[in-house]
Amino acid sequence: MRKNIVAGNWKMNNDLPQTEALIVDLLKQTQTSNAEVMIAPTYVNLYQAFDATRNSNIEVIAQNMHFAENGAYTGEISATMLKSVGVKTVILGHSERRAYFNETNESLAKKVDAALKNDLRIIFCFGEELSDRKSGNQEQVVENQIKSALFHLEASAFKNIVLAYEPVWAIGTGETASPEQAQDMHKFIRQTLQNKYGENTAQDVSILYGGSVKPANAKEIFSKPDVDGGLIGGASLKAEDFIAIVNAF
């Protein structure tokens, strides 16, 4: 059975005092929930966040990692480093990484392999640009992103993979895909998985939606049968909003 997941991607926001304060707020408001709850603070605050959320239902996850185990990669962080501070899940392929840091389907395939080799769970992000949607190519683009980074894997690897469909035109723009647009694409993604790996694998993979999810629209988006949760940017920076989204399940 696939899980419901709500993950907050804090991006390059919140220094250490702000991280600690937001976690205190979140812990005050989180009760038991029907979804797994995750937050992704910046690298330098991962350990403090991990420590502050011990014995809670909040999992601290990372926003990115390098594919190498270690070595001369100034400014980069490896899977083993993440694991050593308690991280068990990493976001890979976020559109901001693809757009501003030249991440490609090929380099992402290497990151995927490195994460799985180190027993990290992956939230793998992908999604089309506005121009792709306008020209009606969104399914082709998404299929290509998934195939080139993930389809060299065995079916069993998908136990440790969560997919996150994030149309680039909806990220941080206030414009959300309609619940129907999200459902259509999620259904297409599940079908693409099924064609390659069979129904059991396809049914067990959680597919999150990301792009301007807010307390006001979360319930409707999450009510769609192939939407298993959300990757939340802006609205994850306010405890009240993030918890309202978690509670939309």
Binding site for ligand PGA (CB under 6 A): 9, 166, 171-172, 210-213, 231-235
Q: Would you say 240 and 29 are in contact if contact means Cβ atoms under 8 Å apart?
A: yes
Question: Measured from the CB atom, is 103 or 201 closer to ligand PGA?
Answer: 103
> What is the rounded CA–CA span in Å between residue 85 and residue 52?
12
Minimum distance of ligand PGA from residue 120's CB (angstroms): 18
> What is the rounded CA–CA span in Å between residue 173 and residue 127?
15
> What is the rounded CA–CA span in Å between residue 167 and residue 171?
7
**What type of residue sits at position 156?**
S
Minimum distance of ligand PGA from residue 111's CB (angstroms): 17
Our answer to whether residue 166 is catalytic in this structure is yes
Residue 236's contacts (CB-CB under 8 Å, 6 or more residues apart) are 7, 8, 9, 10, 39, 242, 245
Question: Measured from the CB atom, is 67 or 93 closer to ligand PGA?
Answer: 93
Question: Measured from the CB atom, is 97 or 111 closer to ligand PGA?
Answer: 97
Question: Measured from the CB atom, is 9 or 19 closer to ligand PGA?
Answer: 9
Q: What three-state secondary structure class fits 163?
A: strand
Minimum distance of ligand PGA from residue 168's CB (angstroms): 9
Q: Where are the alpha helices (H) located in the chain, listed in sequence order?
A: 16-29, 46-52, 79-84, 95-100, 105-117, 130-134, 138-150, 179-197, 199-204, 215-222, 239-246
Minimum distance of ligand PGA from residue 99's CB (angstroms): 11
Nearest to 236 by CA among 18, 4, 16: 18
Our answer to whether residue 36 is catalytic in this structure is no
Minimum distance of ligand PGA from residue 245's CB (angstroms): 10
> What is the rounded CA–CA span in Å between residue 125 and residue 146?
9
Which tokens belong to 6?
């709500």
Task: Check 94, 96, 128, 186 and give the catalytic one.
Answer: 94
> What is the rounded CA–CA span in Å between residue 88 and residue 60?
8
Question: Measured from the CB atom, is 185 or 231 closer to ligand PGA?
Answer: 231
Residue at shortest CB range from ligand PGA: 233
Catalytic residues: 94, 166
